[in-house]
Amino acid sequence: MGHRVGVDIGGTFIDFCLWDEDREELHSLKVLTTPDTPGAELLRGLEILQERHGVKPEDITRFVHGTTVGINTVIQRKGAAMALLTTENFEDVIELARLRMPEAYSLFSRRGEPLVPRDRIYGIRERMLASGEEETPLDEAGVAAAVARAQAKGVAGIIVSFLNAYRNPAHEEAAVAIVRRLAPELFVFRASEVWPVIREYERTTTALINGYVHPKIRDYLDNLIGGLRGKGVTVDPLITKSNGGVMSAALGKQNCVSMVLSGTASGVMGAAWVAREAGEPNAITLDIGGTSADVALVIDGQPQFGSGEKIGDLPLYIPSVAVTSIGDGGGSIAWIDGFGVLKVGPESAGSTPGPACYGRGGTRPTITDAFVVCGFLGQHDIAYGAFRPDPELARQAIGGLAEKLGMSLEKTAESIIRISVSSMFAEVNKLVARHGVDPRDYALLTFGGAGPMMGCFLARELGMRRVLIPSRPGVVSALGGLVADVKNDFIRTPFITADAANAPALKREAASLIAQATAWLRDEQGFSGEATPRWQADMHYRGQSFEIEVPLDAQDVEAADMAAIAEAFHLAHEGIYDFCDRTAPVQIMNLRLVMSGSYGKPRLRPLPEGAAAPAVPERELRVFFDDGWHRIPLYDRSTLKSGQTFSSPCVVAQEDTTCCIPPGFTARVDATGNIILGAGSSQAATPGGSEHAAKHLSMRAE
């Protein structure tokens, strides 16, 4: 027995979540990031954990880390220079990108630039047929010539993606061997190994992202492993993955594309676990940090997954937790555009210099500064006592905007809050419309350093009746690493009709996937517990161009019960499109196995009971909201007990965040310390036309 440590690095803070296995206690910590010396804050956090909680490095039994290195590399376009070897006459596949535009009805819509420019894409004479038979042998001299040309252009690595290699990778394997022999200093990946699916664009793009982020992720993980070893941590670190699972850091250096959404997926997994523990099977999770706000759906206790998620302006085709960025973070900067209109974001103050009120050199006004000016923040320490926001610095930062707008300081600050919330309101409405859900039927689970600060204002605009604020909302993403399973996706493309004649082929594919997944879990991850397989298939009616993902019963797959598999597709098709055709042939394009193993989840201790008595406030605050000053109670969350109740408006202060609760809610503390907010009848407004969301959406300077 010992300690499990979960770590998540954001734009402003690095979060730590500690599970003491002996005492069954959960502890947390926030440390400001250090952009100039990345990784130093992680080691400093371990020192603080040892000072405060006696966590010796050698006693750490599991270290799980969520990182944004991959996604930041793609978004900022600071990845590796690469070359692409592809089948001759297919050099333009990634440029064409299936001719899809990001915004089909916008005259100004543009696709993002490919990760490899056209002059570093080399066509190689070779051809595999869709059956896997060789039609044209690999031109090895052509591969060698392409490698020499790529070296002359100063590339760091090469991606090999040949036509139909998902069916027979022999030519890709031979090309990779040539690259390694002639240019051992270059990294090289083959697309059929990274993600072996049909369709050249999707397979190639996935492999390109893997190579693009590889050097930065490799260097980051090498430094992480070395730093932990230097501190005396003996366990091999684990990394959270885009699919909500974890894998070893050593494997992450090669399987880089699987951890591009590492940090965001970890937050959703932590939030889903909190929601299940609190008895909320359906939730909209809202993660607001210092730089951005992300939202995801939890339905029947499970996060929603998908492929084709956007990473900046690029699609990611591996399965990943479906997370959508919807707005600004607490450090987003307020500014006035050339037309004199007040805007918020997307630029962020980050951790250096940070919001003006942090007193770290920032002078530009942020959302956090607006909350300080309105009186919600500034009366207590934040970030585990790291500092106390300075109201005077916040007023100075927002004063310049107020003067240009011809408004009072407080009304300018409230306008900043309203504009940021209204932009989130619009984006959440789009999201729930796409999924066909009503937000009033869901609980809003707010987390991240700024989630509880802004989340209740968003819930009020959406007419949501329930809000859940976790006991440690500021570190839910770090908690996600502690509750995540070791997990991986394995895929084959059988491309067969679901009929009895093809049952032997399906059995062979399923057996091969089971063998591959078991070897990965036992040998590469060293997991010795009970494994859980979950089967899915991408299926369509013959003649359709696109598939739908269908969950399958394990017994039906392993027995190759084609009738049951086809019926599962018919039901799924009917659920989405309201019709099915049981007389039409059904094709199985991809068969996917998700193999996972659990390390066991933390068990939260119940809070002492408060006998359903009203909570006692620490003191009163003078706060500006809804266009006027009000006196409202301030509660210290560390003193709240299970069963206690209180009403809004109020502020709840705690070590890792501040909960700002506007009028219209009643609060109850549940058995494990979550604050459950319920809205009164007047709160149940219809989403889409809120007075608050529309008001001050456009503040114009005279």
pLDDT at position 701 is 45
CA–CA dist 132, 171 (Å, integer)? 11
Please say which residue of 596, 623, 639 terminates a domain.
596
Lowest mean pLDDT among 25-34, 70-79, 449-458: 25-34
- In a shared domain, residues 106 and 142: yes
Q: Is the peptide bond before 353 cis (omega within 30 degrees of 0)?
A: yes
Average pLDDT over residues 457-470: 94
pLDDT at position 490 is 93
Give residue-wise pLDDT tens across range 542-584. 999 889 999 999 999 999 999 999 999 999 999 888 999 999 9
Residue 167 included in any domain: yes
The CATH number that applies at residue 245 is 3.30.420.40
pLDDT at position 36 is 64
Q: State the DSSP string of 41-110.
A: HHHHHHHHHHHHH---GGGEEEEEEE--HHHHHHHTT----EEEEEETT-TTHHHHGGG--SSTT-TT--
Please say which residue of 417, 439, 456 terminates a domain.
417
Can you count the helices (H) and strands (E) in the chain? 18, 36
Instruction: Using alpha carbons, list the distances in angstroms from residue 83 to 86, 158, 164, 212, 256.
Output: 10, 5, 20, 10, 18
> How many domains in the chain?
4
Average pLDDT over residues 490-516: 94
Average pLDDT, the chain: 88
Give residue-wise pLDDT tens across range 355-384. 999 888 889 999 999 999 999 988 777 766
> SS3 sequence, 145-192?
HHHHHHHHCCCCEEEEECCCCCCCCHHHHHHHHHHHHHCCCCEEEEHH
- In a shared domain, residues 102 and 202: yes
- In a shared domain, residues 181 and 239: no
Average pLDDT over residues 393-410: 94
- In a shared domain, residues 185 and 81: yes
pLDDT at position 393 is 94
SS3 state of residue 36 = coil
Residue 236 included in any domain: yes
> What residue numbers bound the domain in which 337 lies?
332-417
The CATH number that applies at residue 504 is 3.30.1490
Give residue-wise pLDDT tens across range 110-146. 777 899 999 999 999 999 999 999 999 999 999 999 9
Residue 500 included in any domain: yes
Indicate whether 209 pLDDT > 90. Answer: yes
Average pLDDT over residues 489-515: 94
Lowest mean pLDDT among 57-61, 224-228, 343-347, 677-681: 677-681
pLDDT band at 431 (very low <50, low <70, confident <90, very high): confident
Lowest mean pLDDT among 14-18, 426-430, 598-602: 598-602
CA–CA dist 472, 81 (Å, integer)? 41
- In a shared domain, residues 183 and 232: no
- In a shared domain, residues 200 and 81: yes
Residue 443 included in any domain: no
pLDDT at position 111 is 77
pLDDT at position 1 is 61
Lowest mean pLDDT among 27-41, 269-283, 318-332: 27-41
Neighbours of 310 (CB within 10 A): 12
pLDDT at position 386 is 66
pTM of the model: 0.84
């909201």: which residue's tokens?
625
CA–CA dist 656, 658 (Å, integer)? 7
**Which residues is 65 bridged to in the sheet?**
7, 239
Indicate whether 425 pLDDT > 70. Answer: yes
- In a shared domain, residues 105 and 198: yes
> pLDDT higher for 443 or 338?
443
Average pLDDT over residues 501-524: 92
- In a shared domain, residues 83 and 185: yes
Residue 538 included in any domain: yes
- In a shared domain, residues 13 and 93: no
CB distance 664 to 460 below 8 Å: yes
pLDDT band at 264 (very low <50, low <70, confident <90, very high): confident
Q: Where are the alpha helices (DSSP H) in 520-631?
A: 554-558, 562-577
CB distance 27 to 602 below 8 Å: no
Indicate whether 192 pLDDT > 90. Answer: yes
pLDDT at position 63 is 93
- In a shared domain, residues 533 and 566: yes
CA–CA dist 173, 193 (Å, integer)? 9
Give residue-wise pLDDT tens across range 622-679. 999 998 999 999 999 989 999 999 999 999 999 888 999 999 999 999 988 899 999 8
Give residue-wise pLDDT tens across range 296-305. 999 988 888 8
Please say which residue of 150, 179, 211 terminates a domain.
211
Average pLDDT over residues 250-265: 88
- In a shared domain, residues 7 and 22: yes
Residue 649 included in any domain: no
- In a shared domain, residues 109 and 204: yes
Give φ, ψ of 20 to 5 degrees.
-85, 105
Indicate whether 319 pLDDT > 80. Answer: yes
CA–CA dist 345, 486 (Å, integer)? 36
Residue 633 included in any domain: no
Give residue-wise pLDDT tens across range 136-164. 999 999 999 999 999 999 999 999 999 99
Q: Looking only at Cα atoms, what is the longest distance across the chain?
A: 81
Residue 429 included in any domain: no
Containing 519, the helix (H) or strand (E) segment is helix 503-519
Average pLDDT over residues 157-178: 97
